[in-house]
Amino acid sequence: MLVSSLSLRADEAEENVTISEAPITEEDREHWAFGRLIRPEVPELKSRLRFSNPIDAFVEARLERDGLRPLPLAGRTTLIRRLSFDLTGLPPTPGEVDAFLADGRPDAYERLVDRLLASPAYGERWAQHWLDLARFAETDGFEHDKVRREAWRYRDWVIDALNRDMPYDQFITWQLAGDEVAPDNPAARTATAFCLSGPDMPDINSQEERRHSLLNELTATVGSTLMALQVGCAQCHDHKYDPISQADFYRLRAIFQPAVHVTRDKSVSVLRERGGKLEPAYLMIRGDWRRKGPEVQPGFLRIVNAGKDGVANPQAVGKSSGRRTALARWLTRADHPLTSRVIVNRLWQHHFGHGLCRSPSDFGVLGLEPEHLELLDWLATELVRRKWSLKATHRLMVTSRAYRRASRPSDASWSDEVRKVAKVNWKAALEKDPANELLARFSRRRLEGEAIRDAMLSAAGVLNAKRGGPGVRPPLPAELVKTLLSNQWKVTPDEQEHFRRSIYVFARRNLRYPIFEAFDRPDGNASCPRRSRSTTAPQSLLLLNSRLSLDLARRLAGRVIAETKADDAARIERLYRLTLGRRPTKQELIDCGEFLKRQQRRLRAKPRRSDTLALPIPAAKGLDPHAAAALVDLSLAMLNLSEFIYID
C-alpha cells in the first residue's frame, strides 16, 4: 500500500509543493495483473483426452483437479438459440433452426458460427457492450441534458468497426488518436468521440472547471476500460491500494490535455489539437481545479511500464503532439501486461456470463483473482497471435466444448443413459462449485432489455433492419413524458422507425427507454463493465401490461394467423417456434389449447363489444373476435415466459 506522498501544511503555498512518489517495488509487480504476460503451455490431462480447442484442455484440467465431470453438450435447438443471441442479439428464425437441425455435415456448428459472425447484426449486438464501457449517450446529462446532434456517428463507427473486424489494436488506437494516425480520415476522427462520450455541463459558470472535470473523467475511463485499473481513484491522492500515485494520474491526463477544448454552451464531440506551443500540465492539489501543484510531464503508469517507455518527445503528426499515438502504441505492444488480458476477459464475460476475472474493470489489488489465470493468459497471447482479431477470438470461445455444454441436466436430444449421468454430474458440480467458476456447465442467464425488445420485435415480424443514423424515438407513456422538459422526447413521425433495433433507440442520459431501464441498462454517466441483474416487480408488470408488450402481442397473433392454417394446434406450434425457437411438447399443446378455449369463454361472458377487444394486427378477417382476442392473450403470455427472456 502506498502512503500519500503529497501533503500540505495549512500555511504552505502551492508553489512550494513537490512530488515525492513511493518507488514501484518487486513486490508490487508480483501481483498477477502487473507481471509479464507469458504464454502458458496447454495442459496435459490425466485422462489422456485430447481436444481440438485448447480452451477445453485448460477447463478440463481444472475440473480433473477438483474431481468434477462436466455436463454433456447441449442439443442443437438449444445451441442455435444460445449462439444467435450471443453473437447477434437476435433469436434464430424457424427456418434457420430447421436448416441447422437438418445440416448433417460434421462442421455444421462451425458454419453456423461463421454465418452469425458475418452478419451485420453481430456489430449491432457487440457495439452495445462497448458503448456501455464508453458511457455513450446522445445527450450531455445533468439538468438540461442537451442533445449531442452528432453523437450517433460514434455509435455507428463502433458498429461498423466491429463488423469489419477491425483489429483491436487499431480499434483502440483510433479511439485514442484517430486524428493523429489518420488525419485525413473522417471516420478516424469520429472514433475519438470515445474519449468525450461521458457526461458534461456546457453551461457551467467556470469553463476551466468544466475542462478539468472532462479531463479527469476521460483519464479514469481510459484507465478502467483499456487497462482495468481504477486510476480515477488517484486524482485527489495516491491510490490507497494499487501502486498508482497521484502524479501517475496527472501524467496520464497530460497526454490528453492538448486535445480537449471547451466552448460555453457547446457540447463536446471529438478530440482536437490546435497546434502551436503546448500548455504545461500540472498536478492538481487534492484534485481541486483551482489549486495547481507541481508541473508534470506526460507519461505512462509506472506499474505497467517496466520498460520505462517515455512519451515526453513523441513524433508530432501535423498539428498534433503525437502524445496519444505514443500512448496507443504503448498500450498495444504485444508484451503489455494488461491490454489483451482485459479485452479477452470482457469477451469471455459476455459469452459465459462472468469473466475469468470477475472484476472486469479492476485488475488491481482489490480486484478478484482469476479462477483460470493460465487460460486468461493463453487467450491474451492468442489474441495477439491472431493479429488482434476479435472475431477469431469469439470463434475460438464459442466453438469450445466449455461453451457448448448444457446448462441443465436434461435435454430433449439426450438418451436416458446420458440424462442419468448428467444428473449425477450436475449435482456434484452444484454442491462443489455453485457459482460455476470451474465451468462444468453453461451458466443460464437473462437477456438484456435491448435483446428482449429486439426478440419481441422479431417474433412479431416487425423488426426494421434499417441500419445507422440518428437515434429514433418511439412513443413513451404519457406519465413519463410529463417528467421531461419541453420537447425532450419528440416522437419519430415514421412508425416503421419505431421498430428499429434497440441500439438505434435514442440514448438520453437522463431518461432510459422504459424496458431498458427496467432491465438494468446503465445511465451512461459512468463506464459500466458489467450490468447489474435485478429481479423486480416492475419488470413483470412492464412485460405484461405495457403498451409495447400488448402492441407486439397483437402483431405476433396477427402473424401467426397469417402464416398458419385455421386450427389451434397449428397456431400454438407456430407461436412456440417464433418465440422460443422450438416446438411445443404434447402437454404444452394440450395446456395452450385449453387456455384458448377457456379464455374465449371468459371473453364471451363479459358484456363487451368486439371492437373494444385487443385484436390481432392486422385484423383477422372471418375469425371470431373472441377467438382472435384469446390468441392475443396467449401471445402475450408467451412473451412473458421465463424461457423467452432467458438463454439456456
Which distant-in-sequence residues (6+ apart) come within 8 Å of 234 by Cβ? 244, 245, 246, 248, 249
pTM of the entire predicted model: 0.95
Q: Is the pLDDT of residue 304 over 80?
A: yes
Span 510-565, pLDDT tens digits = 999 999 999 999 999 999 999 999 999 999 999 999 999 999 999 999 999 999 98
For the chain, the residue count is 648
Mean pLDDT of the 50-75 span: 94
Nearest to 215 by CA among 273, 168, 254, 264: 254
Half-sphere exposure for 552 (CA within 13 Å, toward CB)? 29
Average pLDDT, the chain: 93
Q: Is the pLDDT of residue 383 over 50?
A: yes
Q: Is the pLDDT of residue 10 over 70?
A: no
Amino acid 450: pLDDT:
98
Three cell numbers written together for 531: 450490468
Q: Is the pLDDT of residue 382 over 60?
A: yes
Which distant-in-sequence residues (6+ apart) come within 8 Å of 531 by Cβ? 132, 448, 520, 521, 522
Nearest to 411 by CA among 69, 60, 81: 81
- Residue carrying C-alpha cell 436416458: 416
Mean pLDDT of the 35-50 span: 87
N-term to C-term CA, the chain:
43
Amino acid 317: pLDDT:
67
Q: Give ∠ CA 234-237-238 in degrees, rounded to 5.
A: 65
Q: How far apart are CA 132 and CA 227, in angstroms?
A: 16
Amino acid 15: pLDDT:
59
Amino acid 200: pLDDT:
97
Amino acid 3: pLDDT:
38
Q: How far apart are CA 559 and CA 561, in angstroms?
A: 5
DSSP per residue, 206-252 = -HHHHHHHHHHHHHHHHHHHHH---GGGGSSS--SSSS--HHHHHHH
Q: How far apart are CA 321 and CA 312, in angstroms?
A: 10
The pLDDT confidence band at residue 316, using thresholds 50, 70 and 90, is low
Amino acid 314: pLDDT:
63
Q: Is the pLDDT of residue 194 over 80?
A: yes
Contact between 35 and 271 under an 8 Å Cβ cutoff? The reply is no
Mean pLDDT of the 403-423 span: 93
Span 573-601, pLDDT tens digits = 999 999 999 999 999 999 999 999 999 99
Residues 504, 505, 506, 509, CA torsion sign: negative
Span 113-153, pLDDT tens digits = 999 999 999 999 999 999 999 999 999 999 889 999 999 99
Q: How far apart are CA 376 and CA 367, in angstroms?
A: 15
Strands 281-284 and 292-296: antiparallel
Three cell numbers written together for 515: 424496458
Burial class (CB within 10 angstroms; exposed 0-12, middle 13-18, buried 19+) of 123: buried
- Beta bridge mates, 464: 500
Helix axes 373-385, 54-65, angle to 10 degrees: 170
- Residue carrying C-alpha cell 449421468: 421
Q: Which residue has the higher pLDDT, 412 or 345?
A: 345
Q: Residue 622 CB: number of other CB atoms within 10 A?
A: 5
The pLDDT confidence band at residue 8, using thresholds 50, 70 and 90, is very low
The pLDDT confidence band at residue 4, using thresholds 50, 70 and 90, is very low
- Beta bridge mates, 445: 647
Sort residue 408 into left (φ over 0), alpha (ψ -120 to 50) or beta: beta
Q: Is the pLDDT of residue 5 over 80?
A: no
Span 436-487, pLDDT tens digits = 999 999 999 999 999 999 999 999 999 999 999 999 999 999 889 888 888 8
Amino acid 306: pLDDT:
83
Burial class (CB within 10 angstroms; exposed 0-12, middle 13-18, buried 19+) of 41: exposed
Where do the domains of the chain lie? 14-27+167-331, 54-118+337-432, 547-647
Contact between 487 and 139 under an 8 Å Cβ cutoff? The reply is no
Burial class (CB within 10 angstroms; exposed 0-12, middle 13-18, buried 19+) of 546: middle
Amino acid 46: pLDDT:
81
State the Cα torsion 342-345-347-353 to the nearest 10°.
Answer: -140
- Residue carrying C-alpha cell 404444452: 588
Nearest to 414 by CA among 439, 405, 106, 590: 405
Three cell numbers written together for 498: 419505431
Q: Is the pLDDT of residue 275 over 70?
A: yes
